Amino acid sequence: MPLTRTLGDITVIALSDGQGPFFLPRNEAFPEATPEQWALADARDPGARGRDGRWLLQFRCFAIRHDDGRVTLVDAGIGPADSPAASWAPVPGRLPEELAAAGIDRADVDTVVITHLHTDHVGWAVVGTPYFPNASYLVPRADADAVDELNPALRERLLDPLAAAGQLRLVASDTPIAAGVKVVATPGHTPGHQSVLVERADEAVVVTGDLLVHAIQLVAPAVAYTLEVDPDAARDSRTKLLAPGIILATPHLTAPFVQV
């Protein structure tokens, strides 16, 4: 079974779509990081360090099973063999098998939260037609407005099919999904990047998207990632949300759930 985190009557389920090396060496991805910070990051997440400075990362989505049985999916992974991420990510992904192992039929997914418009987070969202036929897709409006700068192919591959099916919902600020679950704005990685906050039974889990992408940003939140469109805003989003004691549900770290 996939790894889970339970908060009262809400369950957060980690779903692995794939794993593999990133296309940039980690020192190029985080050029400001110091040797001391790398040592702390490697101690925190040794599984992310490959040979010759390669950065090994996971590609995950997270399902949130609500108390009434509804399911929210956060992000849609790397996708099938012909997905937009195929030029660099280890496609095909295995999200369909992971959902089945978790007892989730794609028709039961009520909401899909797309944290941002990068190809490794949208792969299964549309496979010809919307892959989750009964879901509203919550996409950050600022990313949709900037799709031609982020990845123009995603207009035709993602946004247009969702809009044609009546399943696209553009959001621009904190947005409630259900009791104890809401989308929170965490811009910087992309213009409209958003995360999902789950609060229940005096606990909190943040499904981070790419609020942080490597343990270097967990041990040193001020360290910028070279692919952030606004490093200052991304740093501000991290430092505001990464409160001591909070649990992070992370797409790219080796462990799906880590504590700040």
pLDDT at 202 over 90: no
Q: What is the predicted pLDDT for the residue at 53? A: 75
Task: Tell me the average pLDDT across 214-237.
Answer: 96
Q: Tell me the pLDDT tens digit for each residue of 99-117.
A: 999 999 999 999 999 999 9
pTM listed for this prediction: 0.96
Tell me how crowded residue 116 is: count the other CB atoms within 10 A of its CB. Answer: 26
Q: Calculate the alpha carbon distances from 157 to 91, 132, 178 in Å.
A: 17, 15, 29
Q: What is the predicted pLDDT for the residue at 54? A: 86
pLDDT at 45 over 90: yes
Among 38-42, 90-94, 200-204, which is the least confidently predicted range? Answer: 200-204
**Mean pLDDT for the chain overall:** 95
Give the pair of three-digit tokens for residue 149.
């700068």
Could you tell me the pLDDT band of residue 9, with boundaries at 50, 70 and 90?
very high
Q: What is the predicted pLDDT for the residue at 69? A: 87
pLDDT at 127 over 70: yes
Q: What is the predicted pLDDT for the residue at 2? A: 57
Residue with more model confidence, 184 or 53: 184
Could you tell me the pLDDT band of residue 167, with boundaries at 50, 70 and 90?
very high
Q: What is the predicted pLDDT for the residue at 32? A: 95
In eight-state DSSP terms, residue 69 is: S
Q: What is the predicted pLDDT for the residue at 123? A: 98
Q: What is the predicted pLDDT for the residue at 1? A: 45
Q: What is the predicted pLDDT for the residue at 52? A: 77
Could you tell me the pLDDT band of residue 243, with boundaries at 50, 70 and 90?
confident
Residues in the chain: 260
pLDDT at 47 over 60: yes
Domains and CATH numbers, the chain: 4-259 (3.60.15.10)
Tell me how crowded residue 225 is: count the other CB atoms within 10 A of its CB. Answer: 22
- Residue by residue, what is the 3-state secondary structure of 88-134? CCCCCCCHHHHHHHCCCCHHHEEEEECCCCCHHHCCCCEECEECCCC
Residue pair 158/130 in contact by the 8 Å Cβ criterion: no
Task: Tell me the average pLDDT across 131-144.
Answer: 98
Q: What is the predicted pLDDT for the residue at 225? A: 97
Q: Tell me the pLDDT tens digit for each residue of 64-97.
A: 999 888 999 999 999 999 999 999 999 999 999 9
